[in-house]
Structure 1
Amino acid sequence: MDTAPRANDISRRSLLWAAAGAPVVAATAGGAGAGSAEAAAAGGRQDPDSPRFAVAVLPDTQYLLDEGGSDPEPVRAALAWLVRSRGEANIAFMTQLGDVTEHGTETEMRLADRVFRTVDGKLPYSVLAGNHDIPSGDDQRGDTPYLRTFGPHRFRRDRTFGGASQDGYHHFHVVKAGGRQWLVLALDWRASDAGIAWAQGVIDTHPALPAILTTHDLVWAGDDGQAHLSANGQRLWDRLIRRNDQIFLALGGHYWPPGRTTMTNDHGNPVHLHITNYQDRYYGGAGMVRLYHFDLVRDVIDVETFSPWLRARVEKDPSLLEAETVALTGDVDRFSVPVDFGARFAGFAPPALPAPRPPRAVMPRGTVAYWRFDRTGLAGAGTDGAPVPPGTVARDLTGNGNDLTSTLLHASGPATLTWSADHHDDAPAHASLRFDGGKQPDRGAVLRTGPGAPLNAMRFESGYTIETFLKLPSPLVGDHAWMGILSWEGRAGDAGKHSGWSDDEPTCSLNLSGERFLQFVVYPVPVDADPTSWSHAVPVGRWMHVAVVNDGRRTTMYVDGSRIARNAAEESTGIATLGKPFALGGTQFAGSYGQGFHGWLGDTRVVARALRPDQFLTAH
């Protein structure tokens, strides 16, 4: 169809804000589909394990595949570009949204057949029937030129093909991308009760796969870009989408202008519903393509819309309309959808986290101290939120005698230090300590080595690696600037060091600035200097791993295994310790503690040599 139901005239102007998104899902193919011809795509191979991949969308092409007079070249050019760019853009799949042709005749379907041969065997894809592709009725209409052209037989060569409904008008694909499988449902523009039951059966057969639902008639948009369910979309929402938490993204064409909305399903999770259709634009949409770029690292889907056919033309001598239409950058054409993929899929596909690792597995040669806060290392651990009483001992699991003992600072109450089941996914121990330090008045808690602990006086002149896991609360409320994470006690001035910011700061500490920069400052053994490393602004609400590595000459800080930029350029040999305790959860100034750390701390390890990133506590 060509126009959207609306109270007001619809313009191209739209306003659409990204809300939250969800990843696409793969499933294990339940039907035919062996073939791997598409792996030989001319543009290179798709990397199924990369956390960044794209799903391509080809909306209504009916005005370009019209036997009454049109031009199929923009569509052919779009498909050829997808094949050529498959490796570079890591395109995992292409889905078409119906209304392939204008009248659905034998002649038009023969033309569509020739055009879509461009991708056959080179890029897995789906096609579904729009109202212009079939005479009338729902999926029980029987044989049609469309079905003979784009029925299940066409897709059996694609390794993604999972099966089709008995009538042939619905099919599904299982797509491997981002290191997991995704389910793509391609539904006829009018699904009968039997068609909906078939789709539900596919979902039930693949209960752990996130799903993208595609159909022709789903939502329509007003001139503000806000999409609304159509009558058919409402039926699909009520009968299928809202009930199945796996469906996180639903795409349709049929109407213009483009738009989107986010609705909440019966499980309390967001479902993103988008309309993509540009047939009203110059040259029948000019073979417009939309790419959904999934980024599982950044937890976002970045969307862009452009015409590959016009891109080639504007490189030469473009007309005004060609130059205006080549790429669309309105709020409903180019946008980002932030989504916490792990949280969104946790209800049906909880992540398989690594099992806890025993202490002996994470104590390489040279380990001088290792503390963890599960039952292995902390007396009384086990009840989430339970206070950790003063005097509780976290054992040094190396056996070297560097046990930590908990102390509440100032007049801090029992809730200032609690045990937590929260932990970094890659931490050896599945537990942590929750510190509730703060200012005005100062409060906090620290865990300190005893007066005779060997770690107190070690100088590490041959190098060292200090590691910890930490998480800052979200939101980070209040003033927590310059809170300490770990340190050795004692004044730098007492160690004969006077070149730093103050003689009253300790000889070695890891702290957090008011801008949320990690600061590692150390006074080396042989010289009066304070080489300092600074990270970027670290995130809140997310676990991170921090490692400080010294090779005997220079110090390098790593955050989540990545080397930071602002590492101290000065030579740095050893740590000018004073025989005073090592502390976790705070940093002294002038020999006393002010505020304590605010957040979570996990496994912490000190090794008397430089480790490589693949030897950090995060390594498996």
Structure 2
Amino acid sequence: MDERHDGTSRRRLLQTGVGAGAVIASGALGAGTADATTGTAGVAATGRHGGRVDTEHPRFTLAVVPDTQYQFDQDRGDAAPLTATFKWLIDQRGAENIVFVAHLGDVVENGLAMEFAQADPVFKLLDRARFPYSVLAGNHDIDGSKDDTRGASAYLDTFNPRRFRWMPTYGGSTPNGYNSYHVFRAAGRQWLLLAMDWRPSDASFAWARGVIAAHPKLPVILTTHELVNADAGNPVAYLTDHGNRVWDQLVDGNDQIFLTLNGHYWPPGRVTRKNAAGNDVHLHITNYQDRYYGGSGMVRLYHFDLARNTIDVETVAPWILGQDPGRRSELAAAEVELTDDTNRFSIPVDFAKRFAGFAPEPVRPARPAKQLVIPGTAAYWRFDGPVGGTVVDQSGNGNELTRVQLSGDVPTASAEYHADQPGHGSWLFPGGKNPARGAYLKTADGAPLNAMTFTDGYTIEAFVKLADDGQDHSWEGLLARLGTGRDAGKTGSDPDEPVVKLGFSGGLQVQWAVYPLDRNDTFTNWGHEQRAGEWFHLAIVNDGRHSIVYVNSSELLRNPSTRSNGLATAGKPWLVGAGHYANTIDQSFAGHLGELRIVTRPLKPSQFLTA
């Protein structure tokens, strides 16, 4: 086994605000970019074209090139389509964060030296651009009647292990040279790609199992020439006879293999099967040699998005894409991009859950409360212990909370918590209204927090998981201040409204409604609809002039630009887990509350409890 690749490092999924379908603009990458081939953060890609790739960004692309055999068919081929594809991939490398290119075999039609001589300079485009790639033998590249112990071939003369040694991704090959593996870094972790021969021998299957065993924490993508087939008119793929052998010898018992890619047959198709561990394996066939111009050099792009737990797949023909639209032939115009459900689709993959059996996400350790009592902390309550009559103010300022029991159930301690929550636990409040039921907490009559007006700004943070959005919980309060606008000397549109309330509408929209010091009426920030049953971090930040609502460190839209300074007070207690109207508790909170911190200054997201 010819070994060469740098060591693997422990994955950490990125905490990011990247939205769905985000594309990484070439030249727009900041610090933390890397060469996709090295797995070393902070190193720019060495290619001379297409900008840099970012190996830490949660979205990356694997480019897959299936059967190109008709482009290299004695004197009947044309290298232009594949040449255009490789040049396009090089040019788009940074923009699409393309970290690796995998060819699925049948590079040429007849396995002749003259055909490989035609293909060789095309692949040298990737070599010169220092763009890592893999190649494997299809049945047209070699004597298809033999397994990989077949010996010398024109294919092996062209794509032998020596060709790949420049690549830091290259891990090694079988002694016969027909099977190889690569390790590349993307989305903040390392991935293993196996490139297996048309007909691996038993020894080569054993080698592949050994490679996987030597990299026990890495998710594995298997590329080979034949595995599944799909019939015309039915895109649901099925294992071929040889595919069953590959499944039995390699895929089924190796939970790390989550995606397989093969060519050989057409039309394309896909299927999902359960492996021996009960987890999904996605098996895809992609091949376009039956289409116009031998497939026109089509490439399938697998856009992995770990922030969205999705793989978005699209199929394009760069050779045709680069032609003048006014001069394209009728057949070419139809092949620019394939947009049917078989060639353009998305598959949901909960990556952390799927990889948990071999690479579980490390649980972020609990952090002691004293580490989170930063300068300006006015109050800090944690609900990571048993339910009692009081909750200690971890800030040391004496703003302890006392439980007030209403009718119905009492809160219960829960082992659930937000993944980035310092304290590992929460209280589950039963909530309810008409009349208010369950329980809430309040500060003492003389607590220091009651009189504070926050003229220099404030930050209020909470870890929350809402119960269902039934009307029994609509307009529930999470945090409020007793006292009305009238009590604080305000004569606005409804002076019976509380001076401060953080709650949720009937549609689970965040609502921050307050009487500022510098206004005679209520002032409201709105958020979008939250999902019941999902943990989120909520923050309200005021810099002395404006208030901004954040959810999971993302600034929301409906934040007024009107000036808002401080919080009015009538000197009355604060409520946690309830709201009021005209100083009467109208309902209590329903859901989990992990912890809540109030700071007397504006904080940046990098200073939140999630940091």
- Normalising by structure 1, report the TM-score: 0.87
C-alpha distance in 1 between matches for 2:260 and 2:175: 23
Kindly indicate whether the alpha-carbon contact (under 8 Å) linking 1:443 and 1:594 is maintained by their aligned counterparts in 2. Answer: no
C-alpha distance in 2 between matches for 1:463 and 1:505: 22
- Structure 2 counterpart of 1:533, one-letter code: N
C-alpha distance in 2 between matches for 1:341 and 1:409: 43
- Which gives a bigger RCO, structure 1 or 2 (Cα 8 Å, sep 6+)? 1
Which residues of 2 match residues 286-301 of structure 1 at below 5 A? 286-301=296-311
TM-aligned CA deviation for residue 328 of structure 1: 0.5
Question: Which position in structure 2 is the counterpart of 1:186?
Answer: 195
SS of alignment partner, residue 74 of structure 1: helix
Instruction: Note if 1:400 corresponds to 2:382.
Output: no
The 3 A distance-change label for structure 1 pair 256 and 397 is same
Kindly indicate whether the alpha-carbon contact (under 8 Å) linking 2:470 and 2:506 is maintained by their aligned counterparts in 1. Answer: no
- Structure 2 counterpart of 1:410, one-letter code: S
C-alpha distance in 1 between matches for 2:404 and 2:574: 13
TM-aligned CA deviation for residue 579 of structure 1: 2.3
From 212, 226, 237, the counterpart of 2:221: 212
Instruction: Note if 1:202 corresponds to 2:211.
Output: yes
The 3 A distance-change label for structure 1 pair 274 and 453 is same
Instruction: Note if 1:285 corresponds to 2:285.
Output: no
- Structure 2 counterpart of 1:450, one-letter code: A
- Structure 1 counterpart of 2:610, one-letter code: T
Question: Which position in structure 2 is the counterpart of 1:50?
Answer: 57
Instruction: Note if 1:590 corresponds to 2:585.
Output: no
Kindly indicate whether the alpha-carbon contact (under 8 Å) linking 1:314 and 1:323 is maintained by their aligned counterparts in 2. Answer: no
Question: Which position in structure 2 is the counterpart of 1:453?
Answer: 447
From 540, 552, 556, the counterpart of 2:548: 556
C-alpha distance in 2 between matches for 1:478 and 1:139: 66
SS of alignment partner, residue 332 of structure 2: helix
From 573, 576, 588, the counterpart of 1:581: 573
C-alpha distance in 1 between matches for 2:380 and 2:73: 72
C-alpha distance in 1 between matches for 2:159 and 2:396: 69
C-alpha distance in 1 between matches for 2:584 and 2:590: 18
TM-aligned CA deviation for residue 552 of structure 1: 1.6
Which residues of 2 match residues 67-466 of structure 1 at below 5 A? 67-121=74-128, 122-135=130-143, 136-222=145-231, 223-374=233-384, 378=385, 380=386, 388-389=387-388, 391=389, 393-411=390-408, 413-414=409-410, 417-438=411-432, 443-466=437-460
C-alpha distance in 1 between matches for 2:90 and 2:110: 27
Decide which moves more: 215-224 or 87-96.
215-224
From 448, 463, 471, the counterpart of 1:469: 463
SS of alignment partner, residue 87 of structure 1: coil
Kindly indicate whether the alpha-carbon contact (under 8 Å) linking 2:383 and 2:593 is maintained by their aligned counterparts in 1. Answer: no
Instruction: Note if 1:494 corresponds to 2:482.
Output: no
C-alpha distance in 1 between matches for 2:371 and 2:178: 54
- Structure 1 counterpart of 2:510, one-letter code: L
Structure 1: stretches of 5+ with no match in the other structure? 1-28, 381-387
The 3 A distance-change label for structure 1 pair 454 and 594 is same
Percent identity over the alignment is 52
The 3 A distance-change label for structure 1 pair 542 and 202 is farther
SS of alignment partner, residue 556 of structure 1: strand
The 3 A distance-change label for structure 1 pair 526 and 46 is closer
Question: Which position in structure 2 is the counterpart of 1:4?
Answer: none
- Structure 1 counterpart of 2:226, one-letter code: D
SS of alignment partner, residue 117 of structure 1: helix
C-alpha distance in 2 between matches for 1:483 and 1:550: 22
SS of alignment partner, residue 262 of structure 1: strand
C-alpha distance in 2 between matches for 1:440 and 1:346: 44
Decide which moves more: 317-326 or 596-605.
596-605
From 507, 511, 531, the counterpart of 2:503: 511
Kindly indicate whether the alpha-carbon contact (under 8 Å) linking 1:38 and 1:124 is maintained by their aligned counterparts in 2. Answer: no
- Normalising by structure 2, report the TM-score: 0.89
Aligned residues between the structures? 568
The 3 A distance-change label for structure 1 pair 537 and 92 is same
C-alpha distance in 2 between matches for 1:219 and 1:171: 21
The CA deviation string for residues 347-398 of structure 1, in whole angstroms up to 9 with x for no partner, is 2111124322222222221111011233xxx4x3xxxxxxx35x2x221111
Kindly indicate whether the alpha-carbon contact (under 8 Å) linking 1:58 and 1:96 is maintained by their aligned counterparts in 2. Answer: yes
Kindly indicate whether the alpha-carbon contact (under 8 Å) linking 2:45 and 2:51 is maintained by their aligned counterparts in 1. Answer: no
- Structure 2 counterpart of 1:432, one-letter code: S
TM-aligned CA deviation for residue 203 of structure 1: 0.9
Instruction: Note if 1:524 corresponds to 2:532.
Output: no
Structure 2: stretches of 5+ with no match in the other structure? 1-35
The 3 A distance-change label for structure 1 pair 487 and 168 is same
C-alpha distance in 1 between matches for 2:503 and 2:44: 55
The CA deviation string for residues 185-219 of structure 1, in whole angstroms up to 9 with x for no partner, is 11112122211111111111111111111111111
TM-aligned CA deviation for residue 141 of structure 1: 1.4
- Structure 1 counterpart of 2:569, one-letter code: T
Which residues of 2 match residues 32-51 of structure 1 at below 5 A? 39-51=46-58
Q: CA RMSD in A?
A: 2.2
C-alpha distance in 2 between matches for 1:582 and 1:153: 71
SS of alignment partner, residue 70 of structure 1: coil
TM-aligned CA deviation for residue 476 of structure 1: 5.6
Decide which moves more: 451-460 or 325-334.
451-460
